[in-house]
Amino acid sequence: MSKTLRLQIILGGCVVVAAVLIFLWKPTVLIYGVQRAGLYAAIALPMALILGVVHIVNLAHGELMMVAAYITYYLSRSLGVDPFVAMLITAPVMFGVGILIYKLTISHAVKGPELNQLILTFGVAMVLSQLVNLLTTSQTRKISLDYVTASATIGETSFGTYNFLFVGLAAAVLIGLQLFLKRTRLGQAATAVGQNPNGAEIIGIDVQRTYTIVVAIAAGLMGIIGTFFLTKFSIFPAVGGAYTMKSFCLVAMAGIGNLPMIVVSSLILAVAESSIQAIPGGSGWAPLVFFALIILVIMTRSFRRSS
Amino acid sequence: MKPTRTTGSVIALWVFGVLGVFVAVLPLLAGPYAQAIGRSVLTYLILAVSWDMLIRSGQLSFGIAGFFGLGSYAAVMAGKWLGMAPILTLLLAGVVVALVAAAVGSVVLRLRGMYFAITTLALAEIFRIIIRNWNNFTGGPNGALLSGVIFGGNAAATYTLMLVLGVLAIAASEWFEHGKMHFALTAIRNNEVVAKSSGINIYRYLLIAFVITSAMQGVVGASYAQQFGFVTPESSFHMNYTLIPLALALFGGMYTSWGPVVGAVILGVLGEYLKLYIPYGHLIVYGLIIVLVLLLMPKGIVGLVRARMREVSHD
Amino acid sequence: MLKIDSISCSYGRLGVIHDLSMEVGAESVGLFGPNGAGKTTLVNAIFGMVPVKSGTITLDGQDITGKPTHEIVRSGVALVPQARELFPFMTVRENLMVAAEQVPHARERSSETLEEVVSIFPILGERSRQLAVTLSGGQQRMLAVGRSLMARPRVLILDEPSLGLQPSIVHELFSILGEMKKEISILVAEQNVRESLRSVDRGYVLENGRIVIAGSASELAHDPEVERSYLGL
Ligand SMILES: Nc1ncnc2c1ncn2[C@@H]1O[C@H](COP(=O)(O)OP(=O)(O)O)[C@@H](O)[C@H]1O
Ligand SMILES: [Mg+2]
């Protein structure tokens, strides 16, 4: 126990030192890194919720965000409303999509072999992205909003401020999920199910219902997060895939079931990425950072387990 | 009862054997269009078989497209920079991909289950980014073009080439189904601890399996690139090359040599027609197949047929 | 109270419980038998966790055969499983409270029930903020029993509560069960016949999925077959 604590302190120290150095080098790198970390953490948290309670890696996670973004896109275009207004419809629709996906697919594999679960959710991901491809073509789409270009200047550095919204989003999702899991009856039941589904069944929890609701909540959150994503980024049918992998990387770094640590792992990944991007000629290589991290983290984890 | 079953399976073997040879030779008689379809079927057949060979060890790979694309690039680069003969570039691609797989595998094969699966899912993306950024060698985002295609575009010859590769792939798969390799991989899949305690060097067998199956995917990528004479980061590492083989193997039946073969032949031919009717987004069908097969017939066509045959032999 | 009428259960083709009938009234009943006799299967069948092929299970005349487990819990049956099945990374208190939350009639009185449970098992009060995973085997068993009581059941079923516990703790546990039977019906599946006979009123001996002997505690204690096979005399 004290050994892991020491390790955490050393790790934390390294992160702080690195952050200070980066700030002295190029303040904007740190600012953009923090903003990006907000986005990453917000997206990873619902995946962590499903993994922690249902014990399934949802490889269609990024695709849920993509679908949500498309729903908001078409709603806001056809109704002529702001995306955040359309979100009021998108989120409940995605909640329903979550129920549907759970009932139709995951529920049949939840007690089966892990490999089948992975292939199944991979199949769901493909169906979702190809369905959107079929309906809307692979053309990229974007909503231009005037408020997203807001910027601020401190001293000599000026930077976009809209993306700080993602930091707020991540905080809201994290706090909301923690309150749900600790304070509500359903959330406590979900915690119990996540730790021991047999035990949960024995004390009278409807495990299947809990799984359904947890997947639906995660999907509903993706409805919100997908909308936020749409306000700032272009979307296309394959946009979600990279976020599935990054989210998994972040959850694995944080440790399954440890939601608050996801904020830390997001900061590490995001600041590392924006540092690489700041190096001349480095921007093309930034997407490799997460791969290096996932290997590093999982290796150290599995080594620690075996020793 | 036992003798009937053996005679039954011998007859079945002959029937399938004759049928197989017939199906395989048919395109050679039927002309260029049939040969083009046959080529595409064989391409996915080899990928499906190779994927299945690895999953027999319990390691699920989503990295097919990565090694396929790498093989494509290796072949085209060898042709472009070294002026190597097309057929030799296939060999070279196999060696290059085997080396890369050995290096990657020595790290990622220590991972299991979801960790391995998701890491391999990232491989195609990783390779694609490296190739894309390595501008002056690979041609960067624009890709690279060969001055000509293999066998001067002779459809019968390329079909024959793919047929030979297909037979080799099935032979490799059968080798994995028998003897020490089979024993080791099945032991690893069923229980790693038991496998370890029975003296199997898990890591060595996994590495061998990973290197061989990746090299197969690389050679297919190379032959594909040589047939079309160009590579680009987006097309050569396309998700298709992971999605379609998976669907074919599942549809035919996992954990056997013949499952992926049957799946590839049936769906490969149907897929060609599908492409004509839904040019964009026809891939949704493969996603649906994956989902439906897992939910409704997890043992695939071969599993269904086997169960049926067992019923018949019981009556 | 709990009435089991000629039920049969099997795993695939392997029949495990054959046409078995028994009852538990306002009393404590033992279910004895060697390893593999089918005790766990029977108990899980009552609890809706193993399918019942034929026959019926009723609770106060109400048919509960084939009902989902969470409904059976709500109708007043609680189980202390053989494997304890606690929530390892929840505190002792959270383990107890989450069980009370799942049953409407127990929810309203949860803090009152918690006090009762702590007075039965004082150790659970002392360790209330500790994670369940850090408890010893005996303490975990106490927590499992305590957790089942949080649902305020009318019928309590225990599956081999003495398994893996040291004799002094087994003794303590059965004394507690002997006290509890005044308030609720108890069905206890056990291999440790000697200790459990002290606390039960009646018992059944199960072998290969069939009841071979039934009788009061004193009848069983003096039955030559029981003496030879279970009491080791
Ligand atoms: N999940 C299962 N699947 C198949 N057979 C089982 C299963 N659980 C128990 N059995 C078999 O059922 C029989 C009764 O087991 P069980 O009910 O656990 O007995 P007991 O609790 O009396 O020791 C045993 O022969 C056991 O092997
Ligand atoms: Mg038992």
List pLDDT tens digits, range B270-285: 888 888 887 777 889 9
Cβ-proximal residues to C96 (8 Å cutoff; 6+ apart), any chain: C114, C117, C124, C143, C146, C147, C150
Task: Determine which of A249-253, B45-49, B242-246 has the lowest per-residue pLDDT on average.
Answer: A249-253
CA distances from residue C222 to A25, A284, C194, C217 in whole angstroms, order as listed: 88, 84, 12, 9
Q: Among candidates B213, B182, B173, B175, which has minimal Cα distance to B200?
A: B182
pLDDT at A86 over 60: yes
Q: Which ligand is nearest to the CA of C39?
A: 1
Contact flag C69-A196 (C-beta cutoff 8 Å): no
- Which carries the bigger pLDDT value, residue C71 or residue B200? C71
| Cα–Cα distance for residue pair A121/A101, rounded to 1 Å | 10
pLDDT value of residue B2: 42
pTM of the full structure: 0.92
- Pairing type for strands C28-32 and B230-231 reads unpaired
The parent domain of residue B45 ranges over 32-238
pLDDT at B313 over 80: no
pLDDT value of residue B90: 96
In a domain, B257, yes or no: no
pLDDT value of residue A304: 56
pLDDT value of residue A2: 63
| Cα–Cα distance for residue pair A32/A262, rounded to 1 Å | 18
pLDDT digits (tens, 9 = 90+) for A176-224: 999 999 999 999 999 999 999 999 999 999 999 999 999 999 999 999 9
CA distances from residue C191 to A270, B174, C18, C205 in whole angstroms, order as listed: 58, 51, 20, 10
Please work out whether the CB of residue C35 comes within 6 Å of at least one atom of ligand 1.
Answer: yes
Please work out whether the CB of residue C205 comes within 6 Å of at least one atom of ligand 1.
Answer: no
In a domain, B38, yes or no: yes
- Residue type, position A62, single letter: G
Q: Please give the structure tokens belonging to residue A240.
A: 């979600």
pLDDT value of residue B110: 85
Q: Among candidates A300, A286, A265, which has minimal Cα distance to B107?
A: A300
In a domain, B166, yes or no: yes
In a domain, B266, yes or no: no
Helices B64-82 and B202-228: angle between axes, nearest 10 degrees: 50
pLDDT value of residue B3: 45
Q: How many residues does chain C have?
A: 233
Torsion angle of the four alpha carbons C149, C153, C158, C162, in this order, in degrees rounded to the nearest 10: 30
Mean pLDDT of the region A78-98: 97
Measured in angstroms, the CA of A245 and the nearest CA of chain C are apart by: 28
Q: Among candidates C229, A62, B128, which has minimal Cα distance to C220?
A: C229
Contact flag C47-A204 (C-beta cutoff 8 Å): no
Cβ-proximal residues to B80 (8 Å cutoff; 6+ apart), any chain: B144, B146
**Touch of B by C (3+ CB pairs closer than 8 Å):** no
Mean pLDDT of the region B105-129: 89
State the average pLDDT for chain A: 91
Q: Please give the structure tokens belonging to residue B145.
A: 């073009």
CA distances from residue C112 to A183, A203, C45 in whole angstroms, order as listed: 20, 18, 31
Q: Backbone phi, then psi, for A159, in 5-degree steps?
A: -155, 155
Contact flag C102-A189 (C-beta cutoff 8 Å): yes
In a domain, B115, yes or no: yes
Mean pLDDT of the region A249-266: 91
Q: Among candidates A51, A77, A33, A61, which has minimal Cα distance to A225?
A: A61
Mean pLDDT of the region A3-26: 79
3-state secondary structure of C17: strand
Number of domains chain B contains: 1
For a pocket test of ligand 1, which of C11, C52, C206 has the largest count of ligand atoms closer than 8 A to its C-beta?
A: C11
| Cα–Cα distance for residue pair A255/A116, rounded to 1 Å | 23
pLDDT at B1 over 50: no
- How far is ligand 2, taken at its centre, from the CA of residue C94, in Å? 27
All residues of chain A having their beta carbon less than 8 Å from the beta carbon of residue C79 are: 202
pLDDT digits (tens, 9 = 90+) for B145-182: 888 888 888 888 999 999 999 999 999 999 999 888 88
* Sheet containing C14-24, strands listed edge to edge, beginning at the edge strand earlier in sequence: C14-24, C2-11, C54-59, C62-63
Contact flag C87-A195 (C-beta cutoff 8 Å): yes
Pick the residue whose CA is nearest to atom 25 on ligand 1. Answer: C36
- Domain coordinates of chain A in residue numbers? 42-239
Query: Residue C3 pairs with which residues in a beta bridge?
Result: C23, C58
In a domain, B263, yes or no: no
From first to last of the 233 residues of chain C, give the pLDDT tens digit. Answer: 899 999 999 998 899 999 999 999 999 999 999 999 999 999 999 999 999 999 999 999 999 999 999 999 999 999 999 999 999 999 999 999 999 999 999 999 999 999 999 999 999 999 999 999 999 999 999 999 999 999 999 999 999 999 888 888 889 889 989 888 888 999 999 998 988 898 899 999 999 999 999 999 999 988 888 888 777 65
- Which one of B111, B114, B292 makes the best mutation probe of the A interface by having the most chain A beta carbons within 10 Å? B114
Architecture of the C1-76+154-233 domain = 3-Layer(aba) Sandwich (3.40)
What DSSP designation does A102 have?
I
**Touch of A by C (3+ CB pairs closer than 8 Å):** yes
In a domain, B226, yes or no: yes
Q: Which chains touch B (3 or more CB pairs under 8 A)?
A: A
Q: How many residues does chain B have?
A: 315
Please work out whether the CB of residue C81 comes within 6 Å of at least one atom of ligand 1.
Answer: no
pLDDT value of residue A15: 78
Question: What are the DSSP calls for C44-96, one per residue?
Answer: HHHTTSS---EEEEEETTEE-TT--HHHHHHTTEEEE-TT----TTSBHHHHH
Measured in angstroms, the CA of B103 and the nearest CA of chain A are apart by: 13
pLDDT digits (tens, 9 = 90+) for C125-148: 999 999 999 999 999 999 999 999
